[in-house]
Amino acid sequence: MTDLSLSSAHDARARRNVAVLVCAQAFLGAQMAMIFVVGGLAGQSLASNVCFATLPISLIVLGSMLSASPLSAAMQRFGRRAGFLIGAMAGAAGAGISGYGLYIASFPIFLLGSLITGIYMSSQGFFRFAAADTASEAFRPKAISYVLAGGLASAIIGPQLVKVTSQSMVIPFLGTYLAVVAINLSGSLMFLFLDIPKPPVPEKDAPRGRSRMELLKTPRIAVAVICATVSYALMNLVMTSTPLAVVGCGFSEGRAADIVTGHVLAMYAPSFFTGHLIARFGVERIVGLGIAILAGAGAVALSGVELEHFFVALILLGLGWNFGFIGATTMLAGAHEPHERGRMQGLNDLIVFGGVTLASLASGGLMNCSGGTAEAGWAAVNIAMLPFLTLAGGALIWLVLRPKEA
C-alpha cells in the first residue's frame, strides 16, 4: 500500500471524528454565545456595583482556566469522550445553578454557576486538539479549522435562542439558562460516536518527554502560547464589553445580539479555508495577519460608536481571532510529541484561559468605571489592546528572524 493510501485510510477515522466534533461545536457551542450575550446584562441586574457586571463572564473563564489541566489529565488517562461528557454535565449543572441564582436574585449563587460553567468551556477548548489526535500531518490544520468552523452554526443558533428565551419568563434571562441546560443534556449524546483511542499507558522505560518548563522554553511553543493567549484574551476583552457598550450607547438588546452574531460568524466562517491558507502560506504569516486584523478592530472601534462601527469592529475582531488562534493552535500541535500531549495541552489552556480570565476581569472595570460614560469605557477597552498586540507581534517577528539552526 502506498503512503498516500495509508494516509487516506488513516484520515477516514479522523474525518468521522471531525464530523462529530463539528456537530458538537455547532450545537453545544451555542451556549457560549448565549451566555456571553446575557451574562453581563444578567450580572448588571444582580450586582450591587456595576463595575462587577462582567464578573460572571470572568468566573466562567476562571473556571475554564482552573479545570484545563485536570481535564487534560483525565483525557490522557480515560480518553477524550470521558472528558467531553464531564464538560457537558458541568455545563448543564452550571447553567442550572445560575438559573437558580437568577430565580432567587442571588448574585453569589449566580457566580457559582458561572464558575462551574467554565468546566464546559474548558472541555470545548479541547475539541480542536481532539480533531488533530487521529489526523495525519497533512490533514491536521484542516481538521482543526473544520472543527472550529462548527462555531458558524453556533453563531446563528446561540444569539437567536437568546432573542426567543431572554424575556420568555417573568424573570429576565432565566429562560436562556434553562435552554442551556437542555442543550447540554441532549448534546452530550454526540460524544458516544467519537472514535479516538485512549493514549497508551507508557512503559516504565518509555521516554517521559520534556518537563513543563522545558516545553515552555522551546521557542516555537513559547511563541505559539503567547499568540494564542493574546488572540483569545483580546477577543474576550472586547466581546465581553460589547453588549454593555451597545446598550449603553442607546441601542437595544436585540441589536447587541445581532452584533454578537456577526462577531461569532466572523470567528468561525473563515475556518473553512484557514487550514488551507496555513498550508499554502505558512503558519507564521497567518498568525501575523490575525494580529494585524485585531489591531484594525481596535482602530475601527475607536473611530465611533454608531451601529456600523460596532458591527465592523466586532467582525474584524472575530476574523483576527480566527487567524491568530487557529494558527497558534496549529503551531503548537506540531511542536510536541504524542506522549507530551496531556502535559502540554493542559499547560497551554491553563495559560491561555489565565490570560482570558484577566482580560475578562479587566473588561468590566474598563467598561463601567472609566470616564463615567459608555463611550469612554468602550474607548478604554480598545486602547488596552495595544501593548498585548505589540507583545504578540514582537514575539512572532523574533521567531521568524531567529536562525533556523538555533
pLDDT, position 2: 43
pLDDT, position 252: 83
pLDDT, position 132: 81
Percent residues over pLDDT 70 in the chain = 93
pLDDT, position 4: 40
Range with the largest mean pLDDT of 14-23, 192-201, 385-394: 385-394
pLDDT, position 318: 94
Cα(252)–Cα(245) distance, integer angstroms: 11
Residue 3 predicted with pLDDT over 50? no
Q: Using alpha carbons only, give the angle 92, 97, 98 rounded to the nearest 5 degrees.
A: 100
Residue 387 predicted with pLDDT over 90? yes
User: Per-residue confidence at 250, pLDDT binned at 50, 70, 90?
Assistant: confident
pLDDT tens string 299-309: 999 999 899 99
From the number of C-beta atoms within 10 Å of its C-beta (0-12, 13-18, 19+), residue 372 rates as exposed
- Go through the domains of the chain in sequence order and give each one's CATH number: 11-193+212-401 (1.20.1250.20)
pLDDT, position 404: 67
- Containing 93, the helix (H) or strand (E) segment is helix 80-103
Mean pLDDT for 323-328 is 92
pLDDT tens string 93-151: 999 999 999 999 999 999 999 999 999 999 998 888 888 888 887 788 788 878 877 87
pLDDT, position 406: 46
pLDDT, position 6: 43
Report pTM. 0.75
Question: What residues contact residue 119 under an 8 Å CB cut-off, 6+ apart?
Answer: 63, 64, 67, 71, 86, 87, 90, 91, 94
pLDDT tens string 104-117: 999 999 999 999 99
pLDDT tens string 255-301: 888 898 888 889 888 877 888 898 889 999 999 999 999 999 999 99
Cα(229)–Cα(350) distance, integer angstroms: 10
Mean pLDDT for 178-184 is 96
User: Per-residue confidence at 1, pLDDT binned at 50, 70, 90?
Assistant: very low
User: Per-residue confidence at 361, pLDDT binned at 50, 70, 90?
Assistant: confident
pLDDT, position 118: 93
229 SS3 class: helix
Cell numbers linked to 369: 468605571
Mean pLDDT for 390-402 is 93
pLDDT, position 214: 82
pLDDT tens string 29-64: 999 989 988 888 888 889 888 778 778 888 998 898
pLDDT, position 117: 95
CB of 134 closer than 8 Å to CB of 14: yes
Q: What is the mean pLDDT of the chain?
A: 86
Which of 4-18, 116-130, 141-155, 349-363 has the least mean pLDDT? 4-18
Burial 221-249 (b: 16+ CB within 10 A, else e): bbbbbbbbbbbbbbbbbbbbbbbbbbbbb
